[in-house]
Amino acid sequence: MRSDITTKGLERATHRALYYSMGILPEELDKPLVAIVNPQNETMPGHVHLDIIAKAVREGVLAAGGTPIEFGTIGLCDGIAQGNYGMHYPLASRELICDSVECMVNGHSYDAMVIVTECDKITPGMLMAAARLNIPTIVVSGGPMSTGWYAGKEVGYTDLMEAQGLVQRGEMTMDQLSEFEQGALPGCGACNIMGTANTMNYMTEALGMCLPGSSVMAVSGRRIALAKRTGMKIMELYRKNIRPRDVLTMNAFWNAFVVDMAIGGSTNTMLHLPAIANEAGLKIDMAMITEISSLTPNIVRIKPSGRHFPADLDHAGGIAAVMKQLSDAGLLRDSLTMTGEPVSANLADARVLDPTVIRPMDDPYTRFGGLALVYGNLAPDGGVCKAAGVLPEMLQHKGPARVFNQEEDGVKAIYNGEINKGDIVVIRYEGPKGGPGMREMLAPTAAIIGMGLGDSVALITDGRFSGASRGAAIGHVSPEAAAGGTIGLVAEGDIIAIDIPGGTVTLEVDDAELARRKAAWTRPPSKAQPGSYLDRYSRIVTSAMTGAVFARD
């Protein structure tokens, strides 16, 4: 056993004594030591209940003959950090989470690992650590939040965000908003939308890194049972020596992107899946994603892209049912999963229970995937759009640029009525380096929708979006402004043409003028405090289109 290095032999008397001081029995040290990584905290609904999940995992590990040892990591809530200085930190925290798990597992030589996780950057950071450490590992998430309720209607996080625009326009009172706030998010779990949190839970199942059941609700007894089975399964994986890199193959990432396109997942998967692949020693070719998007119909639309909620997807058969349809259509590749079985075996009994939620393959929302990559002189290395959340009339759009060098200025202009129909809002210096930390632009996208401009105004940014964002919004524009990208050269009033189906975004300024602007350009001073984590992060983080991973040279 890997843990023998800390528990066996004459020279390990003090090591054993440290375990005994915590109540661990000598015979327990003869069993595999299974790390349970539990980021439970009181900072967000996705994590507040994870002790219950971790307890069930512990019971499963004990029942199957292992010795569970639990430790935690940090976990930031994107929602609480949203729209303020705090939003510089969530993406940057992904690398900290990965590093902290590496430190604990390698520092203590654990034999296997169960990852209990939830939410936007925590799940990707944990999966990155699993790939890096490559010891037997399985994941269980905290599950999606139940659907909210306000004024006799089902509501969720996105509806609440957009209600702020209704107040600004005088169509809702502050008292009504207060009532809305108290009913939109009814309890624990990942926010009740197809945000990054739920998307990454679903991607974990698509990758094969968890037992089927990623869509089971947070408050369900089925969620606790799933956690218990996960604790039992890790012992089987340990005995068979099935490790993350056996599962995280290129076939697994192909499957994840297929599912991502089918469900119209968060654009943040374009950051996280390549970063996880990077830790597994793989490189995602963006051409593969474009190919997958062209092959995969969008058959699920959860808020904010559609009218359904995560609970509806669970009732309709969950991600396994989605994957079953995709597999039957020949879009998935068979590969090993952390059930110990291939994808095909996991899907044998899956079926769609509600075709209004999971549409048939011959009756999709669109014939192409829910996410789209765009390229052009404005984004030579690419940009990302949640095509499933774009109104048909905005899939192609041309208009004058309204340029802002930070999110707050753009949001203020939108709410002050300074943005006109037809405009294209450009928010820059918000990329991985320039932010630093690549803030989410949920506030400006929600402002555009809330101010009634969703059918006439587009947004382009080198920042990123929340899964709650919708509208004609292109993010991850690379190279970013702080790296000298073309987006940093855009001037007020420049004409920009967007063609999402065609995969292009073009700044209609001639090359000579762009060269003149480039010669005069200087990078603004960093917004990060010298010596801070954000300062160090900005110096070594790479482009959004490489997953915003740390440079290895």
- pLDDT for 173-193, tens place per residue? 999 999 999 999 999 999 999
Comparing 61-65, 83-87, 546-550, which segment has the lowest mean pLDDT? 83-87
Report pLDDT digits (tens) over 3-52.
Answer: 999 999 999 999 999 999 999 999 999 999 999 999 999 999 999 999 99
Q: Is the peptide bond before 436 cis (omega within 30 degrees of 0)?
A: yes
The single-letter DSSP state of residue 541 is B
Distance CA 439, CA 244 (A): 30
466 is catalytic: yes
Active-site choice (266, 466, 469, 478): 466
| Averaged pLDDT of the chain | 94
Distance CA 185, CA 192 (A): 7
Q: Give the pLDDT of residue 304.
A: 87
pLDDT at 160 over 80: yes
Pairing of strands 424-427, 396-404: parallel
> Averaged over 523-533, what is the pLDDT?
90
Distance CA 481, CA 435 (A): 10
- Burial (CB < 10 A; 0-12, 13-18, 19+), residue 295, is middle
Q: Give the pLDDT of residue 446.
A: 85
pLDDT at 527 over 90: no
- Quick check: helix, strand or coil at residue 340? coil
> Averaged over 464-475, what is the pLDDT?
83
Q: Give the pLDDT of residue 465.
A: 85
Q: Give the pLDDT of residue 83.
A: 78
CA separation (Å) from 510 to 128, 215, 507, 513? 42, 49, 9, 6
pLDDT at 66 over 90: yes
Q: Give the pLDDT of residue 85.
A: 87
Report pLDDT digits (tens) over 331-387.
Answer: 999 999 999 999 999 999 999 999 999 999 999 999 988 888 999 999 999 999 988
Q: Give the pLDDT of residue 8.
A: 93
pLDDT at 322 over 80: yes
pLDDT at 133 over 90: yes
| Beta carbons within 10 angstroms of residue 354's beta carbon | 14
Report pLDDT digits (tens) over 274-293.
Answer: 999 999 999 999 999 999 99
